[in-house]
Structure 1
Amino acid sequence: MSRSSFHSLALAIALLSTAVALGAALAHLFELPNKIGLTRDDYFIVQGIYRGWSMLGFVLLIQLISIVAIIVLAQQDRDVRIFGCVALICLIAAQMLFWTFTYPANVATENWTKIPANWQVLRRNWEYSHAAGAVCQLAGMTALIIAALVRRR
């Protein structure tokens, strides 16, 4: 398989894995207006729909590896490298938001099965960090699409 073929494959995998990650991220973003004002009991009930979503974590690893591969394989294509780096920065930013705000809320609430006194602060952190992460993933997907469009064959 040629270097160009590997590059095409990496780009396809990056686009697909980013699309899957973006789908989950946008679900969080679009549910925010309907969930942010729920009562405590209703909110904790609704949060139960996310049990099992952690299994999608492997998609982020595939996304990371494929984006790094794009950057490495695009040695002769400066524009693709730049947009690959933008996509990587977006993925890292989304993960920083998750590990800084979302994950601690999950831990403090034992994945939304325990109601601590500061649950409203945790809810706000959880909801808005997911929304910001969705914006990062959308920007990353945009960068990958541009990389695919400007790529020299």
Structure 2
Amino acid sequence: MLFGLQIAAITSVTLCVIPAGAHFFERANKMALSPADYMSVQQIYAGWAYFGIAVVLALLTTLAHTIAVRRNRIAAVLSFASFVTLTGTQAIFWTWTYPMNVATQNWTKMPAAFEAARRQWEDSHAVAAVLAFAALLLLAASALIHNSKDARRAN
């Protein structure tokens, strides 16, 4: 059962890293776009809110994983750090990204302070992407440490 939980947690965190990584790696090119082109390109994100399902699953499965490996202190700390890091991505989203989505009506309305709005939106996504990747690494390390301790015990 733990192995299945590990797979579910790693998969759901990976699903969070995918869109975050896309934002991270397209940032430089998007920052070079004219305001009109940027507003046009932003429309590709219609429907990306469904990635919120992966975020909820990642938070739930990572917390469940932390509880499941609690007897292995190192694995539990790493898993909990992954959960906290994922929580950080949400704090960033709701504090800096989402307000720009609201102010621009999901980038269908040009904001008055365009450059500031664009920078806030892009920078918040870049920081969240780094945190999402860190969460994946922490969770993977937790699973590896826990599983290697179990493997040593079995031999």
Which residue matches 1:60? 55
Q: Are 1:80 and 2:75 an aligned pair?
A: yes
TM-aligned CA deviation for residue 75 of structure 1: 2.4
TM-aligned CA deviation for residue 116 of structure 1: 2.0
Q: How does 1:110-149 map to 2 (within 5 A)?
A: 110-149=105-144
Q: Distance in 2 between matches of 1:10 and 1:65?
A: 10
Which residue matches 2:35? 40
Which residue matches 2:145? 150
TM-aligned CA deviation for residue 93 of structure 1: 1.0
Q: Distance in 2 between matches of 1:78 and 1:130?
A: 32
Q: Distance in 1 between matches of 2:11 and 2:116?
A: 34
User: Which AA in structure 2 matches 1:139?
Assistant: A
Structure 1 unaligned blocks of 5 or more: none
Which stretches of structure 1, 4 residues or more, deviate above 3 A after TM superposition? Answer: none
Q: Distance in 1 between matches of 2:54 and 2:70?
A: 25
Q: CA RMSD in A?
A: 0.9
Q: Are 1:69 and 2:42 an aligned pair?
A: no
- Calculate percent identity across the aligned residue pairs: 36
TM-aligned CA deviation for residue 20 of structure 1: 1.0
Structure 2 unaligned blocks of 5 or more: 151-155
User: Which AA in structure 2 matches 1:122?
Assistant: A
Q: Distance in 1 between matches of 2:113 and 2:96?
A: 14
TM-score, normalised to structure 1, is 0.94
> What do residues 46-91 of structure 1 show as CA deviations (whole Å, max 9, x unaligned)?
0000000001111111001101101111121111111111101110
Secondary structure of 1:106's counterpart equals: helix
TM-aligned CA deviation for residue 150 of structure 1: 0.4
